[in-house]
Amino acid sequence: MAEPKKVKTIKKPTLFLALLPIITMVVLLCLGYVMFELPPEPLIIASTVVAGIIAIKLGYSYNDILESISQKIAKTMPAILILICVGLMIGAWMAGGTIPMMIYYGLKIINPQFLLITAFLVTSVVSICTGTSWGSAGTIGVAFMGVGAGLDANLAAVAGAVVAGAYFGDKLSPLSDTTNIASLSTGVNLYEHIGHLLYTTLPSFIVAGIVYVVTGLNTHGAGVAVPEKVGTIMDTLSTIYHWNFWLVIPVLIVLYGSIRKKPTLPVMLLSSAFAMANALIFQGFSLHDVVSSVLNGFDISMVHVQGFDAEKVLPDIPKLLNRGGMNSMMGTLLICFSAITFAGTISLTKSLELIVDKILKFVHSTGSLIVATIVTGLTMIGVTSNGQVSILMPGEMLREAYIRRGLHPKNLGRTVEDSATIIEPILPWTAAGAYMAGTLGVATLSYLPWAMLCWTGIIFATIWGFTGFGIAKLSPEQQKEMMKEFEEKDAAEARNA
C-alpha cells in the first residue's frame, strides 16, 4: 500500500510574528542606514531572512518562499524595464542636447526682481527634464543661491523655492526613480500615475508660486546683475551644443505618448532613438560616444569641440551633465529587488493582510483611509529615512485595501508620494535633508517653511480624501479584474495546503 500523502499544516501568524520582519527592517535601517551609513540593500535582505525563518516556522517550504518572490518579480518586471529605459533615455537626451537646452533657456529667463518664483519655476523645469532633485538642486539650485547672495536676499526663502522646484520635478518626471517606484509598487501605469499626481501637486504648486511672487515683489528690487557663474554655465552649454527645434522633439514624443496613453516602453524608446539621432547629426558625437552615453551615461569628456577643455570647465558643468545611462539605474533596481524579495516573503505568510486589517479597523471612510496612508508614509520616511523603501512598503501593504473598497490604486500611489517622496527633503535627519542643507548652505528647518510644495501636498490629499474630489473610483468590472490577482493567490495557497 502506498503511504498516505503528508498534509502540510499552515499556521496563521500572530500579530507579533507578522510585525517582527517589519520591525527588524525598521531597526536595521535606523541603526545601520541612518546611524552608521551602511548600504540599505543588505539590511533589507537580512530582514527578508527573518521573514523567511518565520514563514518556515509557520509551515511554508523554501520552494514556497521562492515561488512567492518569483511571482512578485514577474508582476513588477514591466516597471523594472521602464526604470532601465529611463536611464537609457536620460543618457540619450543629454547627448542629443534636449536636457541641456531646457537648462540653458531656463537660466536665460532669470529676472532678479522675481528671484523666488524664477528659482522655483526653472528648478522645476530642470528637475522634470532630468528626473533628479539632487542634481537639479546641486547645479541650478546652487546658481540661484549665488544670485540670492548677490541680491542680499532671504537665502532660506531661495533655498526653499529651489527644494520645492526640485521635488516638483522629481515627483512628476517620468525619468524619476521615485515616480517609477511608486508606479511599480501600486501596479499603476506610469503616465496614469503622473496624471493623478496633479490633483495634489498642482494646487501645491500654485499656492507656492503665489507666495513666492508676493514675497519677491515685496522684498526684491530690480537692477542687480546676475552672478557671472550663471553666464559661464550658459556660455559653456552653448559651446558644447547646437540649439535647434529638433532637440525638443524627444520631449514632445513623451508628452504625446502620455496624453494619448500609449505604451510607455515604446514611447520612451522612440524618444531615445530621436535624441540619439540628434546627438549624431547636430551635436557631432560619434556612434561610440552615443552608445556609451545610453549605457553608462553622458560624460563631458566625450566633447571634442575646438576650444573646449573638459578639465578646465566650471565644476558645475560635469555635475549638471554627467548623468544617465542604463547602468545608472542598477543601484535603484537593486533596492527594488531587495524590497520585492522582502515583500514576496512576508506576503506569503499573509502578515501584511493581518497588519492592514488591524490598521483598517480604524478606517471607516475614504478620507480616513487616505489619512492612514499618509501616517504610514510619514512613519516610514521618518523612521527609515529611505525614500524608496518608504514608497515600496506602503504600496505593497495597502494596495489590496484600496481595491477592495473600490478605490483605484493610483489614489494610493499619489498619497504615498505626498507623504514620502516630497517630505524627505524637509526632514533634517534624512539623506535628502542633509544633502539639501549642505549643498544650498541653509539649515533644513530654516528652509522648511518656504519649501511649501513639500508639505502642502498632504493637506490637499487629506481634503480631497474627505470631500471625494480627485478620488478615482474603480468600476465594478475594473474591481473584479483587479481582485482576480488576490483570488488566484488565495486559490494557489489553498491548493498547496
The reported pLDDT for the residue numbered 3 is: 53
Is residue 447 within 8 A of residue 163, CB to CB? The reply is: yes
Residue 473, strand partner residues: 407
Domain spans of the chain, in order of start: 79-329
All residues at 6 or more sequence positions from 201 whose CB lies less than 8 Å from its CB, including other chains: 168, 171, 172, 453, 457
CB environment 355-385: b (16+ within 10 A), e (fewer): bbeebbeebeebbebbbbbbebbbebbbbbb
The reported pLDDT for the residue numbered 261 is: 73
The reported pLDDT for the residue numbered 72 is: 80
The reported pLDDT for the residue numbered 402 is: 92
The reported pLDDT for the residue numbered 391 is: 87
Q: In this structure, which amino acid lies at residue 166?
A: A
The reported pLDDT for the residue numbered 494 is: 60
The DSSP symbol for 141 reads: I
Distance CA 90, CA 276 (A): 11
Is residue 44 within 8 A of residue 389, CB to CB? The reply is: yes
Is residue 311 within 8 A of residue 290, CB to CB? The reply is: no
The reported pLDDT for the residue numbered 335 is: 81
The reported pLDDT for the residue numbered 240 is: 93
The reported pLDDT for the residue numbered 291 is: 96
pLDDT by 10-residue block (mean), the chain, 497 residues: 61 91 86 82 92 94 92 80 83 90 77 84 85 77 72 85 92 86 89 93 95 82 61 88 94 80 85 95 95 94 86 82 85 82 86 81 89 88 76 85 91 93 85 81 89 94 94 90 74 60
Distance CA 99, CA 102 (A): 5
The reported pLDDT for the residue numbered 450 is: 95
The reported pLDDT for the residue numbered 227 is: 65
| Residue given cell 527592517 in the structure block | 25
The reported pLDDT for the residue numbered 221 is: 52
